[in-house]
Amino acid sequence: MATIPSVTVYGPPMSTAVSRVLACLFEKNVAFHLLPVDMSKRQHKSPDFLKIQPFGQVPAFQDSDLTLFESRAICRYVCDKYSERGNKRLLGLGLLERASIEQWLEAESQSFNPPSSTLVFQLAFAPRMRLKQDPKAIDQAEAKLSGVLDVYERRLGESRFLAGEEFTLADLSHLPNTQYVIDASEKQPLGQVTAFQHENTTLLESRAVCRYISEKYPDQGNKNLFGRGTMERALVEQWLQAEVQTFDPPTSALIFQLAFAPHLKVQQDLDVIEQSEKRLLEVLNAYDKRLEESKYLAGDEFTLADLTHLPNAHHIVNSTDKGYLIKSKKNVNRWWEAISNRPSWKRVIEMRNEPPEKIA
């Protein structure tokens, strides 16, 4: 009969700190339960979770009566407690080996982790969370990490792994951040938001992806999406530009300030909020006039020009208190109701609410 694991890890495996613990448990061949914590629903801040992780972060860990937080402390515990299982050299054999491992574990936590965590957030998570990347933070973190890696390069000229000739917890602890940084740099060399691959084409920038899909598949699905003929295409392009140049800047600023800054514990900038609201009002007045003349922005058919407004308009209506700017304008509101009720957009919203990919 299979034994019931005494170990439980709480948190999503996409978290770097959770995956550090999971990698250690796999190395040590220790069976565990993984209990999901839905961070998008702020379950990590719930009173029950705070009882086992007082900082409201993942992972939290339980082994019979013991509860622990801090991923590196959890890994040390797993190696000590299950010293006879799996990889027995993970925390060294004897004091000298352990001292060297501890030294490089500290280097990871103190020197490698700060700049690499910034890069993980900026390059991998900000795009997923539809947050604007901060080029200055990326540059600074890259310069800092490069200095740290110069030291690693010298060290790894002397030994195969950081603490000596064996793979240890010191190396393992570097895996989560390194994996994200490498994956993100391969996919998005310019640090841009959307990466799309099809046959031999790799594209950055969501609107370029939408144009490509419309042109590549002109006879599939909605055939009006990019206009029929030069004139229609020109109008679609005009309103696509209006979205990028005039609608996106104030809506993105409001979404960041009102929806994301509080989650990120970033102080809101009241001037930016005020100016963006004023600007958005002006922009929507112009849209309202246009939408008095035609059903959709580029004419009487739904096109890419309307579609590209959906993500930010959705956030303004659903994640901020500025939805009235859209709802109070007769024609804009009628247009918003029409485009946001399209089955394609409803499906996108459903997908946002679906649970993260299941792990094996």
Ligand X SMILES: N[C@@H](CCC(=O)N[C@@H](CS)C(=O)NCC(=O)O)C(=O)O
The residues of the shown chain that bind ligand X, judged by CB under 6 A, are 15-17, 44, 56-59, 70-72
CB 36, min distance to ligand X, A: 13
| Residue nearer to ligand X on the CB measure, 134 or 166 | 134
Tokens standing for residue 205: 């920038």
| Residue nearer to ligand X on the CB measure, 172 or 242 | 172
Could you tell me which residues come within 8 angstroms of residue 67 by beta carbon, excluding any fewer than 6 positions away? 52, 60, 61
CB 207, min distance to ligand X, A: 31
CB 59, min distance to ligand X, A: 6
| Residue nearer to ligand X on the CB measure, 179 or 246 | 179
**Helix (H) / strand (E) containing 34:** strand 32-35
CB 171, min distance to ligand X, A: 16
| Residue nearer to ligand X on the CB measure, 43 or 87 | 43
Length, in residues, of the chain: 360
R_g (Cα) of the chain, nearest Å: 25
**Closest Cα to residue 295, out of 237, 338, 266, 263?**
338
| Residue nearer to ligand X on the CB measure, 58 or 210 | 58
- Give the pairing of strands 7-10 and 32-35: parallel
CB 113, min distance to ligand X, A: 8
| Residue nearer to ligand X on the CB measure, 63 or 306 | 63
CB-nearest residue to ligand X? 57
Q: 164: which strand partners?
A: 161
- Count of CB atoms within 10 A of residue 297's CB? 26
φ/ψ of 36, rounded to 5, equals -65, 145
Q: Report helix, strand or coil for 151.
A: helix
CB 69, min distance to ligand X, A: 6
